[in-house]
Structure 1
Amino acid sequence: MTKNENGNYTGKVAFVTGAANGIGRATALAFAREGANVVVADVSEQGNQETVRLIEDLGGRVLAVKCDVTRTEDVTAALSKTIETFGRLDFAFNNAGVEQKKAATAELEEAEWDRIVNTDLRSVFLCLKHEIPLMLKQGGGAIVNTSSGAGVIGIKGGAAYTAAKHGVIGLTKAAALDYASQNIRINAVCPGYIDTSMMDRFTGGTPEGRQKVVSEEPIGRMGQPEEIANAVVWLCSDASSFVVGHALIIDGGQTVQ
């Protein structure tokens, strides 16, 4: 993607959760390439600092904030620091999430259910709750939430993750309707199998595990984080100004089957 291909991002501010690696880092870099100032939020300070270094290497302005998105005080502090540093919030990518330990529904521990739902769904609500008022004050903005292919189909052994990611889509649609008339567009992305550290954990990091995942992709490969990042940047741009409450599936055809 060439700089400013999607419109003028210069002087605009993007807030990205889960930015220490994977899709979050790729999206933070994509916003920076487009000319936006970027806030990278994650629990991993080391990963955050590496993302900062990569953005600074591009000549971008960036702020790193340590943020546990399941904690209201962390979310509000991160957003306050965003406004204190850059004076505004134009785009938010609510992306932080974790994978579930595989278990049949009746064997799923309550603590694991709570961990997944808190991190993958409740955190998106918390971010929306505190991002939206900041955007309303300045007259608008765009938000993208990370759901999953598991947000549109069932995943065997993944009841909590599937429920949470379905919930993200429902939350996105409801919030989109609440604020569309006030110039805030809210959408979601639904990635398929993307080649990230989370996917390494999911596959066990073995050639056999990776090949099993690839065999489920009609396109014959896993996706790259940058392919999701490009879609997020587009959904925040003027080029997608009539897209509201949409869950964009980016999965190589996996859920078409």
Structure 2
Amino acid sequence: MATENKVIIVTGGGSGIGRESAYKLAEQGNTIVIADFNEAGAKETVAQIEKSGGKATSYKLDVSKAEEVEALINFTVETYGTLNGIFNNAGIGLVKPFLEMDPASYHKVIDVDQHSVYYGMYYAAKKMVEIGAKGVFVNTASIYGTMAAKGSFNYNAAKAAVVMMSKSAALELAEHGIRVNGVAPGFIDTPILGEDKEMKDYLAAQHMHNRLIQPQQVAEVVAFLFSDAASAINGQTVPVDDGFLSFK
């Protein structure tokens, strides 16, 4: 199943889903570029990959800046000679009621969670077509890309866009040998949830097994989508939600 000897970028690879996906992809024999605004986190991910015998390097950037994403793509190809895929995973949340969702709050999430996915796919695809490389893109959407949640107007809008951008890009890039899919995680057990046990228990109860989903569980799906075993899956966003969207 594994896709070996590929060069893959993982944005937001300094923690959580990005980090675990980088570990899994490196374990399968791929070279990983860990791109994150959190430079220390990215370097820690690289250190763990190298400790396990894998190949990786870190790269600091702000994914909301088009020119920085373009520079990331160029750096990767200049360093490794090719590019075979990108996991557009970096994202943020900013919960506010709609009537308090001022333009600055709206654009802060849209720029990171939506526009960065476009930048990643656009600049990666341009470069891959230029050098004749084929590969796979995977984008992190969310369960809230297909259903609404109070206080998340900006996040809902961004993640819904990621679902459709994955479909649209898949349609246009298929002729160039590039597959595009997404993952839609449920509630993931990462530090972003904080230490409020009552809240974490509430979120866990939204899943069929009444427990939070581990980042490693999402990473398994991400690695599968990058693999040749998923060659017939294209333009899809796969829920990793322990049944949330099936009964909510």
Same fold flag (TM > 0.5): yes
Match of 1:221 among 184, 204, 211: 211
Match of 2:61 among 39, 63, 67: 67
2:207 corresponds to which letter in structure 1? E
| Pairwise CA RMSD | 1.0
Q: Structure 2: which 5+ runs fail to align?
A: none
SS at match of 2:147: coil
Alignment of 1:242-257 (within 5 A): 242-257=232-247
Match of 2:104 among 111, 120, 134: 111
Pairing 1:231–2:221 present: yes
Q: Give, in angstroms, the shift of residue 197 of structure 1.
A: 1.7
Contact conserved, 1:32 with 1:58, CA < 8 A, in 2?
Answer: no
Q: Give, in angstroms, the shift of residue 131 of structure 1.
A: 0.5
Q: Give, in angstroms, the shift of residue 143 of structure 1.
A: 0.3
Distance 2:212 2:15 in 1: 17
Q: Give, in angstroms, the shift of residue 206 of structure 1.
A: 1.4
Q: TM-score, normalised by structure 1?
A: 0.93
Which residue pairs with 2:153 in the alignment? Answer: 159
Which residue pairs with 2:140 in the alignment? Answer: 146
SS at match of 1:64: strand
Identity of counterpart residues, as a percentage?
Answer: 35
Q: Give, in angstroms, the shift of residue 8 of structure 1.
A: 4.1
Match of 2:197 among 179, 203, 207: 207
1:195 corresponds to which letter in structure 2? D
Which residue pairs with 1:131 in the alignment? Answer: 124
Which residue pairs with 2:32 in the alignment? Answer: 38
Map Cα deviations across residues 194-242 of structure 1 (whole Å, 9 max, x no partner): 1112222xxxx11111111112112211111111111111111110101
Contact conserved, 2:69 with 2:120, CA < 8 A, in 1?
Answer: yes
Q: Structure 1: which 5+ runs fail to align?
A: 1-5
My pick for the range that moved more, 241-250 or 130-139, is 130-139
Distance 1:151 1:8 in 2: 28
Map Cα deviations across residues 93-136 of structure 1 (whole Å, 9 max, x no partner): 000000122x2212212111000100100110011110012222
Distance 1:206 1:218 in 2: 21
SS at match of 1:118: helix
Q: Give, in angstroms, the shift of residue 76 of structure 1.
A: 1.4
Which residue pairs with 1:197 in the alignment? Answer: 191
| Deviant stretches of 4+, over 6 Å | none
Pairing 1:179–2:173 present: yes
Contact conserved, 2:3 with 2:226, CA < 8 A, in 1?
Answer: no
Distance 1:120 1:207 in 2: 27
Contact conserved, 1:88 with 1:138, CA < 8 A, in 2?
Answer: no
Change (3 A) 1:8 1:110: closer
Map Cα deviations across residues 28-77 of structure 1 (whole Å, 9 max, x no partner): 11111000011000001110111011101111111100011011221111
Which residue pairs with 1:7 in the alignment? Answer: 2
1:163 corresponds to which letter in structure 2? A
